[in-house]
Amino acid sequence: MIRLIFFVVISQMVSNCFADEISAISRGGLLYDRWYMVIDTKKPDYTHPAWPNSNISKSGSTTHRCKSCHGWDYKGRNGAYASGKYKTGISGIQYFSGGNKSEVLGILTNDLHDMGNWLTAKDLDDLALFVVKGQFDMTKFISVETNLVKSGDSNSGAKYYNTVCAKCHGAQGDLIKDMTPIGVIAHKNPWEVMHKIFNGQPGEKMPSMRAFGITVVMDIMAYVQTLKK
């Protein structure tokens, strides 16, 4: 009996620990996006010092988002931002997927990033956790040639979409008026949609679906790519 209670208590502690970690990773994923909305602070009104002069299409607060320099696909100059308005020539963060969290914390607080100036120790920790444990190799799931998902069952995705997403986004993905319809973003920028499904939307009630796992998320991705463009 004592042994059983001991076992139950320990396994409960272990699963609580994983539950805490998954929400910390998702919060880190939100910080990778518009971190200033996550911590509810005024966004920086100047261009990030590390933003290259060669890129004149972007300036101001957007140049402070991790994703603007390192990409929604986490591949920087080797991914979708090899060209286009966010071309910077900066590397991705994939090297640190599965890497050492304290090393990443060192990078986030170095002179170049200087994020200790904005974020608390807990924020930095969540962000570093996202970098080492929260990334996916998106080229495994999304074709770079066609932008279409490589796997995922859109019939099953429709069930998830209609029961989870449609309440806020509408059956066609165009219910939120100040937002580009989901079908349009899903074709133009599937990496962004995948990141947002996994982590949520900064400053909004949209939940993170990370705990559903990659198979469910790819089913949803397959379905949103069938919505009108």
Evaluated on CA atoms 217, 220, 225, 228, the torsion sign reads negative
Measured CA to CA in angstroms, residue 13 lies from 5, 7, 23, 210 at distances of 12, 10, 16, 20
Which one of residues 165, 216, 218, 227 is an interface residue with ligand HEC (CB under 6 A)?
Answer: 165
Work out whether 102 is an interface residue with ligand HEC (CB under 6 A): no
Work out whether 96 is an interface residue with ligand HEC (CB under 6 A): yes
Q: For residue 69, give the nearest of 123, 33, 45, 39 by alpha carbon.
A: 33
Work out whether 91 is an interface residue with ligand HEC (CB under 6 A): yes
Shortest distance in whole angstroms from residue 24 CB to ligand HEC: 14
Shortest distance in whole angstroms from residue 118 CB to ligand HEC: 8
Work out whether 46 is an interface residue with ligand HEC (CB under 6 A): no
Work out whether 206 is an interface residue with ligand HEC (CB under 6 A): yes
Q: By CB under 6 A, how many residues form the interface with ligand HEC?
A: 45
Give the SS3 label for residue 91. strand
Rg (Cα) of the chain, in Å, rounded? Answer: 19
Residue 149: beta bridge partners? 142
x/- letters, 169..198, toward ligand HEC (CB under 6 A) = x------x-xxx-x--x-------x--xx-
Q: In terms of C-beta density within 10 A (0-12 exposed, 13-18 middle, 19 or more buried), how is residue 56 classed?
A: exposed
Q: Residue 216: what residue type?
A: V
DSSP class of residue 51?
S
Q: Which is nearer to ligand HEC, 3 or 167 (CB)?
A: 167
Point out which residues bind ligand HEC (CB under 6 A). Answer: 32, 48, 50-51, 63-64, 66, 68-70, 90-91, 93, 95-96, 104, 107-108, 112-113, 115, 127, 131, 164-165, 167-169, 176, 178-180, 182, 185, 193, 196-197, 201, 204-207, 209, 220, 224
